[in-house]
Structure 1
Amino acid sequence: MSSSKTHPKPKAAPKAKSAAKPLLICAGVALAAVTLGLVSWQATAPADKDSGSAGSAPAAAPRNDTSAALQALARREAGDKLAVGRADAPVVLIEYSDFKCGYCGKFARDTEPELVKKYVDNGTLRIEWRNFPIFGAESEAAAKAAWAAGQQDRFAAFHAAAYADGSKEKGFAEPRLLELAREAGVPDIERFKADMAGEQAVAALKKDQEEGYRIGVTSTPSFLVNGKPIAGAQPLGAFTAAIAQAEAAAKQ
């Protein structure tokens, strides 16, 4: 299919606290290279609106000192409710995503399950989620809801339900979030509602957002594989290559 198609820009994200923060856009739509903070993230438009695969190669590896700083962002907390895989896995993939981002959903449906099957299940890979909502109030509400589901060990199920094909088109108003929680098997809905509206959810979201801003994340989905940046819903091969390279480096 032609790569010359253009796509309408998504709605502008809510105003950031600092005027220095760039406009946030979905990596699947972007055609730009932005250099901020510690690392350069590259994002290019996919060949087709419906294909969902960003056409760029993984971003170039940063300098060694920067790579080490980015690699240190892996939290490796055994009790992390928004992570899958062994805390001591040799490779950690950090994902900065938004539940309203179509290309994040593409990754969640098509690529992430393959990575879990191939690498998480054998102990090679750990995946750590970072909530990075950029599409307004419903994005933030969905992020808090995902965190709340995680407090009852249902993050993975909520994540799958929220990213199911056609889910984002239904929106993420509170009634829909409660529906997703039930679909995900969250056992205590009243606790879920309280957690979703609580200060801990706000603090957790702020922590993830500030981490992303600090290293220069400007679009979703964005990833770090042992400190190496990958921007956009790249093909599976881009991730398998990065994981293999990171695993080999970890063994040295």
Structure 2
Amino acid sequence: MSASRKPVIIGAGVVVAALLLGLASYTATRPDDDGPAKPSAISGDSGDSGSPGASAAPQDDPYQELQALARRESGDPLSVGRADAPVVMVEYADFQCGYCGKFARDTEPELIDKYVESGVLRIEWRNFPIFGEESEAAARGAWAAGQQGRFWQFHAAAYADGAKEKGFGEDRLKELAEQAGVKDLDAFAEDLESEAARKSVKRDQEEAYALGATSTPSFLVNGRPISGAQPMDAFVQAIEAAHQAAPEKGAEPSGAAGKAGR
């Protein structure tokens, strides 16, 4: 298997974590289902306390290799929060995913207010389009908006209540870019169709597939998997546990780092 086809290689120590994420993704509720999202508890060892959606941290952490997927790139327009935050949540999502939208509207803003702005949490977005051509186009559009520092504004517009029902065709993507405050729409259109956009989306997509993810949204909190638009408490418990286990604790906010791109 060539590196160009699989940029993420899963080591032997992380196979269990990948299988857990794959199982959770398989059992998570799809966005077209009726009714609320179904919680999916993931346990990494027999000593797990049963906290919803996340595993406890055993002495020999099977998720340690997955923590390396946090890129921590300073100035990454598709991330929010300190690059050196003690907890990183990697989010794999699709703009046509109904439960991704629910998470974006109902839960993510609270996590940003509670943890990102205090310097504890960093959220790194990964484009994981799984619903066809318009999902791919929306992912490239989000990336293109990010080139002008407006990714999170595009993200908010694309996940606004009722937005996905309008589709993500060419005219709609331009409209979303305008709503997001993208200033140079010609540059946006060029970036949208660029090879760089396609490579970025493919990199994120292959990373998710290599982990065994098959549905959206899927998350890694310091390497520990959570699948589905879980209740706020599930993310709070996962973040608090990861923060407690992190080498650096009690990080202080650094200026406007937690508000960048919002």
Shorter-chain TM-score range? 0.7 to 0.9
Number of aligned residues? 219
The residue identity in structure 1 corresponding to 2:114 is K
Deviations 1:186-239 (A, max 9, x none): 010000000000010011011101111111111100000000000000000000
Matched, 1:135 2:131: yes
Alpha-carbon distance in 1 for matches of 2:129, 2:148: 22
Structure 2: gaps (5+ residues) = 7-14, 42-52, 249-262
Q: Decide which structure has greater strand share.
A: 1
Matches within 5 A, 1:200-219: 200-219=196-215
Deviations 1:36-55 (A, max 9, x none): 88341213449x95654333
C-alpha contact (below 8 Å) 1:97/1:132 kept by paired residues: yes
The residue identity in structure 1 corresponding to 2:184 is D
Q: Under a length normalisation based on structure 1, what TM-score does the superposition of the two structures give?
A: 0.81
Other-structure match for 2:140: 144
Matched, 1:40 2:36: no
Match of 2:219 among 196, 220, 223: 223
**CA drift at 1:242:** 0.2
Q: Secondary structure at the match of 1:40?
A: helix
- RCO comparison, higher one (Cα < 8 Å, 6+): 2
Between 1:92-101 and 1:35-44, the stretch displaced more is 35-44
Q: Secondary structure at the match of 2:161?
A: coil
Between 1:234-243 and 1:63-72, the stretch displaced more is 63-72
Alpha-carbon distance in 1 for matches of 2:16, 2:160: 32
Over aligned residues, Cα RMSD in angstroms?
A: 2.3
C-alpha contact (below 8 Å) 2:142/2:151 kept by paired residues: yes
Alpha-carbon distance in 1 for matches of 2:56, 2:215: 18
Other-structure match for 2:182: 186
Structure 1: gaps (5+ residues) = 1-16, 19-34
Between 1:194-203 and 1:62-71, the stretch displaced more is 62-71
Deviations 1:97-156 (A, max 9, x none): 000000000000000000000000110000000000000000000000000000000000
Q: Secondary structure at the match of 2:20?
A: strand
Between 1:48-57 and 1:204-213, the stretch displaced more is 48-57
Percent identity at matched positions?
Answer: 62
Other-structure match for 2:39: 55
